[in-house]
Amino acid sequence: MSSNWNRRRLLAASGAMAVAGATSVRAEAEPETLELWPGGAPGGERVGVEERRVAYNWPDGRVDYSIEGVRRPTLALYPPAKGRRPKAAVLVAPGGGFSKVVIGKEGDEIARWLAANGVLAGVLLYRLPRDGWAAGADAPLQDAQRALRLLRSRAGGARTGALGFSAGGTIAAALASRGGGALYPIVDELDTRPTLPDFVGLGYPWLTHPQAPPRATPFHGFNGPTKAFLFHAEDDPKVDVRNSREAATAIIAAGGKAELKIFPTGGHGFALRSRPPAPEAAWSEDFLRWLDQLDG
């Protein structure tokens, strides 16, 4: 556990820069990192990868970090300011195209912002389909199910949902549409608890355009009364904005509620990095307002 803790502290520290477009107040506590699977993740008999941290240098000097070869999936908990009861709990699923987990920009930075705004945030470091897990493309969804159960157990009765970005949006959407199924054998009492999120936030999610390749966690459409907040940039060069538009329509058609924010700019992967007056920087405050207004 100590190596996991040290790794997460390093990543969290690297993501503690000022966050554009979000409340400047920062969470007080460092994360508590929990391993999802006692005794190891299921179906790893043929997994031979080694976990590694990979840096990406932006042209403007910023550095992002991602994790590849995940063997020990974790949930890093960021509580609200000391003494505050969480108004909600959010499982944060970073993107990475199912080849890596963009844990800094779309994980720890997001969680610190949520915690600073009264939300218990849990960053999911999930396994990757290409690494040989028996569950294949469902390995990330298994981790999301287990993590949501664990987060909900810590939420003190607060509504518990998921916020995913890009491929993490695929996972969050799959959790809403398929998360109620039994995708792995029961490990302990935690696995008897519900796994459907109370709400989902989907940031530039990859769902149906283009058709997902075999390495992507399968998304089977919205078939229940999902509550969703979706945001996307019109000029996204990697994930077609139709993914969000059509998802919002499908959610409403299935009896759910969807708030859709389409911004003219932002490209792909902006997370909290865009600064006002960039239009896409508004998504963070819009999401917090939407979260506050959710009914039971």
Task: Provide the pLDDT for residue 16.
Answer: 39
Predicted TM-score (pTM) of the model is 0.90
Domains and CATH numbers, the chain: 2-293 (3.40.50.1820)
Kindly tell me if the per-residue pLDDT of 14 is higher than 80.
Answer: no
113-119: average pLDDT: 97
Kindly tell me if the per-residue pLDDT of 277 is higher than 90.
Answer: yes
Task: Report residue 209's pLDDT band, with 50, 70 and 90 as the boundaries.
Answer: confident
Task: Provide the pLDDT for residue 82.
Answer: 79
Sign of the torsion angle spanned by Cα atoms 102, 200, 123, 104 = positive
Q: For every residue of the chain, which 3-state class applies, written as one string?
A: CHHHHHHHHHHHHHCCCCCCCCCCCCCCCCCEEEECCCCCCCCCCCCCCCCEEEEEECCCCCEEEEEECCCCCEEEEECCCCCCCCCEEEEEECCCCCCCECCHHHHHHHHHHHHHCCEEEEEEECCCHHHCCCCHHHHHHHHHHHHHHHHHHHCCCCCEEEEEECHHHHHHHHHHHHCCCCCCCCCCHHHHCCCCCCCEEEECCCCCCCCCCCCCCCCCCCCCCCEEEEEEECCCCCCCCHHHHHHHHHHHHCCCEEEEEEECCCCCCCCCCCCCCCHHHHHHHHHHHHHHHCCC
List, for residues 150-183, the tens digit of each pLDDT value.
999 999 999 999 999 999 999 999 999 999 999 9
Task: Provide the pLDDT for residue 194.
Answer: 92
Task: Provide the pLDDT for residue 220.
Answer: 87
Please provide the average confidence, as pLDDT, over all residues in the chain.
Answer: 89
Within a 13 Å sphere around the CA of 214, how many CA atoms are in the beta-carbon half? 5
| 210 prior amide bond cis, ω within 30 | yes
The answer to whether 134 and 43 are in contact (CB under 8 A) is yes
List, for residues 76-88, the tens digit of each pLDDT value.
999 998 778 999 9
Structure tokens given for 2: 């100590």
Task: Provide the pLDDT for residue 29.
Answer: 59
Task: Provide the pLDDT for residue 9.
Answer: 40
Structure tokens given for 255: 């009896």
